């Protein structure tokens, strides 16, 4: 029997010794209050000993239950027996005869032995039966109370154990994770260093300024242009006398692109453009910028499905975005500070300030320059650019019977996609290139008056015999 100090305070002292054992859940028996001493911990016994101990506990519990039940049945039997005796004919006759011989004023010495025994047996049976019922009721009540307290105690113990054990258990795990992360970080640094050593090995032969430009404009470029539309529109130049100059073309150059701040800080993007300023008919400059505008790009449908990364969403679904351009800038107001002439070109430069990380702006800049009917147009990019869309249109009565055009990319990748279905007699070039252009890469377009190349062969070894198929006007390849 366990010491009294371990008794549950919720159980009355008279029943505390009975609360020393809870039948194990593994036996499948109903939990009850028992006076059987608890078994030794299973961790210190063999399997047969544990099994024997549990069987002994079950036997003790069953014996106690049978004792209580037997006492109740005995009480019920005594009550039935007392009634049977009182209703027996022999008892009735004996009781009548005894009653007739009694004095008129009976005293204690007049009580007959049969009456006393019957009275004792009847009340003893009632007491035993009531005791059994009370025992069953109290046992159920105190068993539930005891189980509730055990449950609360187990829950409290689990909470306290979790608070004590989890920090001690997670501490080494967190330390191991931190060590693993440090190892990965050191490995990344070593890989980066190896990559730098291998990549920059050729830089030993380059000047420092070129290395700096490569690092700033390629390796750590803060801005990226996800799409770029370069459009040329060519028409005959009308001179001061109102007549078309047979050797000069007026070329309208239009640039429209998106630029995104890929850095983690607010940045200023320098808009740069240029025009040829070589040809001055009648001693007058004709090259000029005609339009400049910019504005932020927003998603047209903010509630629609989108990618988790806004930049990925912009790259994959550009059709869902549109720009809110500010009013066109006054070109005359920009001339003093943002437009200047140098080295036979007109240079335009304008800073778009305070572009937040991840923001995208649309930039539109247009101008006019004069070029010859036999000429070469070269356009290179100063910012990382992807998805070039190039178009060349003829206006003012010019068609593909007057000029032939030969575009090619100054690029390291594959040939562009020529959209032949969109090319017509006046749209001579319509092509798309999805790959990224590095700084100083670009596009070249050469043109000349239309020549019947099928009948002309300057060098049969190169051009083939007369009458052979003419070379295609498609892109000749990659530079």
pLDDT digits (tens, 9 = 90+) for 265-320: 999 999 999 999 999 998 899 999 999 999 999 988 777 777 777 777 887 788 88
Of residues 359 and 241, more confidently modeled: 359
Residue 229: pLDDT above 90?
yes
pLDDT top residue among 202 and 403:
403
In a domain, 155, yes or no: yes
CA distances from 119 to 99, 100, 111 (A): 16, 20, 11
Q: Count Cα atoms within 13 angstroms, Cβ side, for 464.
A: 8
Q: How many CA atoms lie within 13 Å of 285's alpha carbon, on the beta-carbon side?
A: 11
pLDDT band at 36 (very low <50, low <70, confident <90, very high): very low
Look up tokens 């690029």; give the residue. 411
Residue 478 included in any domain: no
Q: Which domain holds residue 144?
A: 4-99+108-168
Those residues whose C-beta lies under 8 Å from the C-beta of residue 207, and which sit 6 or more positions away, are none
pLDDT of res. 463: 62
Residue 146 shares a structural domain with residue 244:
no
Q: Tell me, what's the pLDDT at 35?
A: 42
pLDDT at residue 4, rounded to an integer = 43
Average pLDDT over the chain, rounded to an integer: 76
116: Cα separation from own chain's centroid: 90
- The reply to whether 257 and 360 lie within a common domain is yes
Give percent of the chain above pLDDT 70: 66
pTM: 0.55
Q: Which of 148, 168, 188 is the last residue of a domain?
A: 168
Write out pLDDT tens, residues 151-193. 888 888 888 777 777 777 777 878 888 888 888 888 888 777 7
Could you tell me if 313 and 434 lie in one domain?
yes
| Count of domains for the chain | 2
CA–chain centroid gap for 358, Å, is 18
Confidence of residue 17 (pLDDT cuts 50, 70, 90): very low
Q: Tell me what the mean pLDDT of segment 3-24 comes to.
A: 42
Is 173 contained in some domain? no
Are 425 and 306 members of one domain?
A: yes
Same domain as 310, residue 379: yes
**Which of the given ranges, 91-100, 203-212, 405-414, 435-444, has the highest pLDDT on average?**
435-444
CA 158, chain centre distance (Å): 34
Per-residue pLDDT band for 23 (boundaries 50, 70, 90) equals very low
Cβ atoms 251, 287 nearer than 8 A: no
SS (H, E, C) the chain: CCCHHHCCCCCCCCCHHHECECCCHHHCCCCCCECCCCCCCHHHCCHHHHHHHHHHHHHHHHHHHHHHHHHHHHHHHHHHHHHHHHHCHHHHHHHHHHHHCCCCCCCHHHCCHHHHHHHHHHHHHHHHHHHHHHHHHHHHHHHHHHHHHHHHHHHHHHHHHHHHHHHHHHHHHHHHHHHHHHHHHHHHHHHHHHHHHHHCCHHHHCCHHHHHHHHHHHHCCCEEEEEEEEEEEEEEEECCCCCEEEEEEEEEEEEEEEEEECCCCCEEEEEEEEEECCCCHHHCCCCEEEEEEEEEEEECCCCCCCCCCHHHHHHHCHHHEEEEECCCCCHHHHHHHHEEEECCEEEEEEEEEEECCCCEEEEEEEEEEEEECCEEEEEECCCCECCEEEEEEECCCCCCCCEEEEEEEECCCCCCEECHHHCCCCEEEEEEECCCECCCCEEEEEEEECCCCCCCCCCHHHHCCCCCCCCCCCCCCEC
Whether the per-residue pLDDT at 118 is higher than 70: the answer is: no
194 is a domain residue: no
Residues 125 and 262 in one domain: no
Query: Is there a domain that residue 35 lies in?
Result: yes
Q: For residue 291, is it within any domain?
A: yes
User: What pLDDT does residue 235 have?
Assistant: 96
Name the least confident of 205-209, 419-423, 445-449.
Answer: 205-209
Residues 38, 115 share a domain: yes
Closest by CA position to 21, among listed 13, 10, 32, 12:
32
Co-location of 164 and 234 in the same domain:
no
pLDDT of residue 226: 92
């Amino acid at each position: 029997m366990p010491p009294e100090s371990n008794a549950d305070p919720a159980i009355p002292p008279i029943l505390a010794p009975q609360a020393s054992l809870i039948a194990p859940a593994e036996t499948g028996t109903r939990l009850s209050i028992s006076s059987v001493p608890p078994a030794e911990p299973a961790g210190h016994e063999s399997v047969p000993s544990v099994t024997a101990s549990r069987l002994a506990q079950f036997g003790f519990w069953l014996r106690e239950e049978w004792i209580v039940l037997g006492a109740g049945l005995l009480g019920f039997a005594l009550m039935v027996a007392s009634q049977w005796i009182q209703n027996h004919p022999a008892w009735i006759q004996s009781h009548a005869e005894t009653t007739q011989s009694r004095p008129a004023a009976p005293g204690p010495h007049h009580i007959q032995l049969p009456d006393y025994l019957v009275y004792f047996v009847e009340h003893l049976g009632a007491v035993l039966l009531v005791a059994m019922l009370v025992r069953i009721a109290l046992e159920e009540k105190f068993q539930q109370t005891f189980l509730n307290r055990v449950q609360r105690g187990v829950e409290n113990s689990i909470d306290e154990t979790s608070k004590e054990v989890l920090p001690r258990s997670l501490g080494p795990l967190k330390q191991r994770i931190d060590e693993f992360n440090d190892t990965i970080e050191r490995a990344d640094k070593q890989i980066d260093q190896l990559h730098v050593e291998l990549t920059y090995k050729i830089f030993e032969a380059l000047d420092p300024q070129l290395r700096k430009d490569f690092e700033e404009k390629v390796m750590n470029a803060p801005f990226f242009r996800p799409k770029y539309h370069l459009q040329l529109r060519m028409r005959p130049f009308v001179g001061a006398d109102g007549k078309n100059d047979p050797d000069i073309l007026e070329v309208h150059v239009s640039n429209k692109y998106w630029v995104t701040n890929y850095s983690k800080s607010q940045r200023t993007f320098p808009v740069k453009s240029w025009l040829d300023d070589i040809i001055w008919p009648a001693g007058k400059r004709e090259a000029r910028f005609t339009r400049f505008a910019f504005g932020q790009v927003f998603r047209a449908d903010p509630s629609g499905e989108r990618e988790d990364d806004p930049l990925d969403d912009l790259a994959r679904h550009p059709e869902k975005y549109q720009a809110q351009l500010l009013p066109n800038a006054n070109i005359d107001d920009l001339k003093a500070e943002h437009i200047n002439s140098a080295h036979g070109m007109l240079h335009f430069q304008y800073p778009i300030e305070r572009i937040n990380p991840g923001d995208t702006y649309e930039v539109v800049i247009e101008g006019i320059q004069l070029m010859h009917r036999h000429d070469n147009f070269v356009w290179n990019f100063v910012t990382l650019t992807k998805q070039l869309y190039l178009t060349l249109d003829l206006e003012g009565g010019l068609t593909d019977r007057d000029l032939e055009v030969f575009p090619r990319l100054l690029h390291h990748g594959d040939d562009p996609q020529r959209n032949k279905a969109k090319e017509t007699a006046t749209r001579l070039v319509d092509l798309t290139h999805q790959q990224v252009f590095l700084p100083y890469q670009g596009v070249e377009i050469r043109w000349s008056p239309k020549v019947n190349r099928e009948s002309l062969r300057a060098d049969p070894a190169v051009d083939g015999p007369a009458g052979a198929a003419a070379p295609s006007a498609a892109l000749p390849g990659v530079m």
